Amino acid sequence: MGKQQKNAISPSRAKDYPEWYQQVIKASDMAEQSPVRGCMVIKPWGYTLWENIVARMDRMFKETGVKNAYFPLFIPLNFLEKEAEHVEGFAKECAVVTHHRLEKGNDGGLVPGGRLTEPLVVRPTSETIIGDSFSKWVKSYRDLPLLINQWANVVRWEMRTRLFLRTSEFLWQEGHTAHATDTEAIERTEQMLKVYVRMVEENLAIPVIKGRKTAAERFPGAVDTLCIEAMMQDRKALQAGTSHFLGQNFAKASNIRFQTENETEEFAWTTSWGSSTRLIGGLIMTHGDDDGVIMPPRVAPAHVVLLPIFRKPDERRKVMDYVNSLADSLRDVTYAGRDLVVEVDDREIGGARGWEWIKKGIPIRAEIGPRDMAKDCVFMARRDRPHREKTAIKREAFISQLPDMLEDMQKQLFQRACGFRDQHTRNVDDQKDFYDWFTPKNPKKPEIHGGFALSHWCGDQACESKIKADLNVTIRCILLDTQIETGACICCGKPSDKRVIFAKAY
Amino acid sequence: MGKQQKNAISPSRAKDYPEWYQQVIKASDMAEQSPVRGCMVIKPWGYTLWENIVARMDRMFKETGVKNAYFPLFIPLNFLEKEAEHVEGFAKECAVVTHHRLEKGNDGGLVPGGRLTEPLVVRPTSETIIGDSFSKWVKSYRDLPLLINQWANVVRWEMRTRLFLRTSEFLWQEGHTAHATDTEAIERTEQMLKVYVRMVEENLAIPVIKGRKTAAERFPGAVDTLCIEAMMQDRKALQAGTSHFLGQNFAKASNIRFQTENETEEFAWTTSWGSSTRLIGGLIMTHGDDDGVIMPPRVAPAHVVLLPIFRKPDERRKVMDYVNSLADSLRDVTYAGRDLVVEVDDREIGGARGWEWIKKGIPIRAEIGPRDMAKDCVFMARRDRPHREKTAIKREAFISQLPDMLEDMQKQLFQRACGFRDQHTRNVDDQKDFYDWFTPKNPKKPEIHGGFALSHWCGDQACESKIKADLNVTIRCILLDTQIETGACICCGKPSDKRVIFAKAY
């Protein structure tokens, strides 16, 4: 890390975005590939971020009356088969347990033994197994609404994996609710989408667009899938959360019936909604720069790192006393509902030390040496500013201004991301323009293209498929907050009454 | 639930303890059997208890410098085989994944497809898969100690299961640490045992005995297993947490090597330590009575339930206003580091309502009707006192005294459990007495026997095995806090220098 080096991550985003993403994760020490195909190891710096996301989201769920519970990891094959579209959607990516012990094989090595009468599927999602419980818990309209969430690991066998974005095992939450009326279930579907919007925009500082999936992109078995979509810095879309209105499909499959106030018997109306460790991938790709991750302060694994500087051995104790006392004072400061998390890094490894924290994306770095101490100052830098931009600030001012600095940084990150997205989103009404918008100009950088196109679509699945086949571009969503506007389908030219978002996607 | 009924749970503990246990869980609505063999569904009341246990234990771990991370659910078969004793210990109870998709079978139904080249085992514990990561993370003595914990689900295929005590899937934490010296690793093993003692005694109000497992009862692959053992109300022992010193066994199996300060290369010394949802089974069997669960206040899913009483329809609004305002005031009160959790139950279902909360074990119940309101009083009952014992108390006094009442209840529960254990623990020095102590007097109640026997043991595994074969009694542990005392082995009469704890166990 000599002075000639301009940025910590190589390649840069502009040069090779997918490789930049891998290198950023490696440099931040957030996660790594495991020896198990497609599974990841989430390291402490990445896992603490996840814990902070979980804590905030969990509180938001509970504020809406949701309670947590836990259901089995394994789903009997016949459960999955109860909903035809559902099993069809997940059959190709299921990890299947067929045996319940290991025994000595013919060559002396261990082989699977004790074959199960019925194979068990490691849950890819839990509608069917939770539906079974709901069918026992719901007897009367008095038992409704039933509002349950589960924090769990799920497995979807993936052939091409990328850390956080697409892994065979990932961590997530899945909410499942049952209601007496369709109206109430639809309201809950929309309510949870709003919770995701608030969570992702206010805490992860990622701007999102609220929309509805087309039939082709819907959750297998759902009547309606609402979603939030974010733009990454390669202008591709990332789905950051989904909320499904399941109608009575799963209630019928799982036999969730209740007695109404009028003593008739009806199937319940259900919803499900989920978000996952994928959000971390979205955070990296929204805020990261050519020096690595930038952690939004509200969910950052730590807020501040203190970097003591001592050139002579006899300075060490004096500087460390000062630094430790400062760390203690900072830990008494509250920001966004939690005590500041302060790291003290006293390793004597030269310039590499500061760079490590830049790459980890810690919001604030502060150097403290004998000269700073003499002036009762720290020499600080903000991660969202160029890394050479450092400011001397009085110790007391540093302590008292930190919450405001962090909140300013949180807002700046959000504004910057909004600006980027708006810059790369436009109405496209001409078919040639549309194809042009999504065609890379430089064949060496196949990922660079226009961004989001707001274009008219007639509603025909054939048009949707043609565009996907031609450009690998999909309808991310039909906007919820849009106005009726007359236009012509970008594919076939037939009349359309509103625009949808077309984009390449993760 | 008429007046003639004396207790809520049938059978009573005295009549049929195992069946009482099942009925208590059912009546408390904490968990239920799932349709998946041996797996449980943890319902909101049980899961909230688990969340409270997790929150407190997690804080204690972090105070000792431990950080959380997450490792894959699946373990390649060859990893498990790296440590011979380890794989031997778990081979008989492994769920094995052999396929990664479902395909149409000959009869049209779905069957496992896409056979894996190497089977994957669903983690029964993670020493080997975490060891693989450690081997990459540890290069130098500067990387040590490495202090990691994981909160996760694990699977051990069980043939005979009981909710919380023995299920095929359960939730737990597993800590894994690596150190530069054996001394440091042993210290960590002991330190984490002490964390478990504090957690279980101070928060779950369950008294425990600290000890060391005999070679026969050790964790497969460990050099030394420390444990805490508690006495249930049927006088059987429950292991409530274990901490293992693994020596260099797993470091050698996983190749965790580091460069020492003297530039030599050495294998690290590792530890692992775990506790699980089994603690909930221990809590139920320690504190439960013939009316159901009793929740220790520090981890109770909720602290207080307010039960509004209205006999005439026009009273409802007035009473509810009073009750809701009281609930708000109570929610501002802090007890043991968290805001009071207050339930308001306004269902008009007569006496069944109060009984439901008794069976759930909520620490405090308070009835409020027009007559109480007129006197600005609530009519309260403590779950650790007989259910008819109710006291009128002024609203303000109720609010201000609640934290003390809860803390008193927490202490009383612990004292009561200590008393029970001490009453059923004694030194046994004569072999006939020993056999008598463990022999049920009434063949209809095979579970009733003496309790814990503190007896001498020569150290020979043959004696340990004989007693196990004769009585189904095992050495729970060799006490850590014991004094050297000369005696004769309870089995063979050979000299022994200390007593160990013999007991029947879960």
- Prediction pTM value: 0.96
Question: Is the bond leading into B72 cis (omega within 30 degrees of zero)?
Answer: no
Complex-level ipTM: 0.96
**How would you class B347 by CB atoms within 10 Å of its CB: exposed for 0-12, middle for 13-18, buried for 19 or more?**
exposed
**How would you class B455 by CB atoms within 10 Å of its CB: exposed for 0-12, middle for 13-18, buried for 19 or more?**
buried
Backbone region of residue B18 per phi and psi (left: phi > 0; alpha: psi in -120 to 50; beta: other values):
alpha
- Interface check A161 vs B, CB under 8 A: no
d(CA B166, CA B169): 9
d(CA B382, CA A451): 63
- Looking up tokens 């006899």 gives A314
Residue pair A26/A288 in contact by the 8 Å Cβ criterion: no
Q: What is the mean pLDDT of each run of 10 residues along chain B (506 residues)?
A: 70 94 98 94 98 98 98 96 88 96 91 96 96 98 98 94 96 98 98 98 98 95 97 97 97 97 97 98 98 98 97 90 98 97 93 95 97 96 94 97 98 98 97 95 80 96 97 95 89 94 97
> Chain A interface, mutation test: which of B26, B29, B30, B41, most A Cβ atoms within 10 Å?
B41
CB atoms closer than 10 angstroms to residue B334: 10
d(CA B126, CA B128): 6
B274-to-A73, A145, B497 alpha-carbon distances in Å: 20, 37, 30
Predicted local confidence at residue B2, as pLDDT: 44
Residue of A nearest to B32 (CA): A133
d(CA B494, CA B490): 8
Q: Which of residues 21-60 of A touch B (CB under 8 A)?
A: 32, 34-36, 39-44, 47-48, 50-51
B390-to-B3, B294, B359 alpha-carbon distances in Å: 16, 17, 17
Predicted local confidence at residue B313, as pLDDT: 82
d(CA B243, CA B186): 10
Q: Which of residues 93-132 of B touch A (CB under 8 A)?
A: 93-103, 109-112, 114, 119-122, 129, 132
Residue of B nearest to A102 (CA): B91
Query: How close is the nearest chain B Cα to the Cα of A40, in Å?
Result: 6
Predicted local confidence at residue B158, as pLDDT: 87
Q: B104 has which bridge partners?
A: B110
d(CA B102, CA A157): 11
Q: B102 has which bridge partners?
A: B112
Q: Which of residues 324-353 of B touch A (CB under 8 A)?
A: 347
Query: How close is the nearest chain A Cα to the Cα of B425, in Å?
Result: 37
Predicted local confidence at residue B483, as pLDDT: 81
d(CA A399, CA B501): 55
**What are the structural domains of chain B?**
17-287 (3.30.930.10), 304-401 (3.40.50.800), 425-503 (3.30.110.30)
SS3 content of chain A, % helix, strand, coil (to 5): 35, 30, 35
CB atoms closer than 10 angstroms to residue B467: 23
Alpha carbon A273 to chain centroid, angstroms: 13
Q: Which of residues 168-187 of B touch A (CB under 8 A)?
A: 169, 171
Residue of B nearest to A142 (CA): B347
A282-to-A238, B61, B317 alpha-carbon distances in Å: 7, 30, 49
| CA quadruple A169, A175, A180, A183: dihedral sign | negative
> Chain A interface, mutation test: which of B68, B90, B97, most A Cβ atoms within 10 Å?
B97
Predicted local confidence at residue A2, as pLDDT: 44
Rounded to 5°, the CA angle A12-A14-A20 comes to 40
d(CA A473, CA A26): 29
- Looking up tokens 């931009």 gives A389
Helices A316-331 and A395-423 pack at an angle, to 10 degrees, of 60
CB atoms closer than 10 angstroms to residue A311: 9
The closest alpha carbon to A455, from A469, A447, A467, A470, belongs to A467
Which element (helix H / strand E) includes B241?
strand B237-245
- Interface check B71 vs A, CB under 8 A: yes
d(CA B361, CA B343): 13
> Chain A interface, mutation test: which of B61, B83, B104, B110, most A Cβ atoms within 10 Å?
B110
The closest alpha carbon to B235, from B464, B482, B14, belongs to B14
Q: Take residue A164 and report the two structure tokens written for it.
A: 């956080």
What's chain B's Rg over C-alpha atoms? 26
Query: How close is the nearest chain B Cα to the Cα of A44, in Å?
Result: 5
Query: How close is the nearest chain A Cα to the Cα of B51, in Å?
Result: 9
Residue A113: half-sphere exposure toward Cβ, Cα within 13 Å: 13
Residue-by-residue pLDDT tens, chain A, 506 positions: 444 558 999 999 999 999 999 999 999 999 999 999 899 999 999 999 999 999 999 999 999 999 999 999 999 999 999 888 888 999 999 999 999 999 999 888 899 999 999 999 999 999 999 999 999 999 999 999 999 999 999 999 988 899 999 999 999 999 999 999 999 999 999 999 999 999 999 999 999 999 999 999 999 999 999 999 999 999 999 999 999 999 999 999 999 999 999 999 999 999 999 999 999 999 999 999 999 999 999 999 999 999 999 988 889 999 999 999 999 999 999 999 999 999 999 998 888 999 999 999 999 999 999 999 999 999 999 999 998 899 999 999 999 999 999 999 999 999 999 999 999 999 999 999 999 999 988 877 777 799 999 999 999 999 999 999 999 999 999 998 878 899 999 999 999 998 999 999 99
Backbone region of residue A131 per phi and psi (left: phi > 0; alpha: psi in -120 to 50; beta: other values):
alpha
Closest partner residue to A132 among B35, B69, B120, by Cβ? B35
Sheet strands side by side (includes A390-394): A342-344, A304-308, A364-368, A377-382, A390-394
Question: Contacts of residue A341 in chain B, CB cutoff 8 Å?
Answer: none
CB B96 to CB A93 under 8 A? no
The closest alpha carbon to A339, from A43, A55, A28, belongs to A55
The closest alpha carbon to B345, from B334, B362, B335, belongs to B362
User: What secondary structure does DSSP assign to A379-448, as a single string?
Assistant: EEEETTS-TT-EEEEEHHHHHHHHHHHHHHHHHHHHHHHHHHHHHTEEE--SHHHHHHHTS-SSTT-TT-
The closest alpha carbon to B320, from B329, B307, B332, B303, belongs to B307
Question: Is the bond leading into A446 cis (omega within 30 degrees of zero)?
Answer: no
Q: A391 has which bridge partners?
A: A380
